[in-house]
Amino acid sequence: MLKTLIVIAAVLAVAVIGLLVYAATRPNTFRIQRAMTINAPVDRIHAILTDLRRGAEWSPFERLDPNIRRTFTGPETGVGSALSWEGNNAVGAGTLTITDATPEKIMLKLDMRRPMEGHNIVEYTLTPQGEATTVTWIMHGPMNLIAKVFHLFMNIEKDLGGAFELGLRDLKGIAEKSA
């Protein structure tokens, strides 16, 4: 019986070490990107994206917890505007701060505290297409070993990318209705 337990423990140790070694070979950064053309001018979409209070209207993440607690700091819109939130396990807790806002690009710093600490960059690029605008939603950041292991078991490209697609669809509905 003791030999069997030792063999099982050795096999598990080798499996865990193998998993960690494999995870360590994964990329040190990640990038998720989705785009959609919206039949609205750049300035209308820009106004929605730079007003973090309007995120509840279109952000797929804010809908995951009907009891999410939001705190807004800084100016109402634009650079320095920030949203901090505390929510259930699906939305976690963190802060999103607009760090740059030009007509063509809005940059935000995303600092997650929970469920897993993370510090990422969110970008929205706005490209005029005649009377329409192509909006590209990008998130990128570093991947530590824990995140690399996590990503082995979760398809972040599919899951987070799907959320971006849903958010862009809802943003499209709001921006086009505002016409």
Per-domain residue ranges of the chain = 29-177
Using CA atoms, how far residue 121 sits from 31, 124, 142, in Å, is 10, 10, 10
For the stretch 118-167, pLDDT in tens is: 899 999 999 999 999 999 999 999 887 777 777 777 777 777 888 999 99
For the stretch 35-87, pLDDT in tens is: 999 999 999 999 999 999 999 999 998 888 989 999 999 999 999 999 999 99
20: pLDDT strictly greater than 80:
no
* Model confidence, pTM: 0.83
Confidence of residue 26 (pLDDT cuts 50, 70, 90): confident
CATH of domain 29-177: 3.30.530.20
Pairing of strands 118-129, 82-86: unpaired
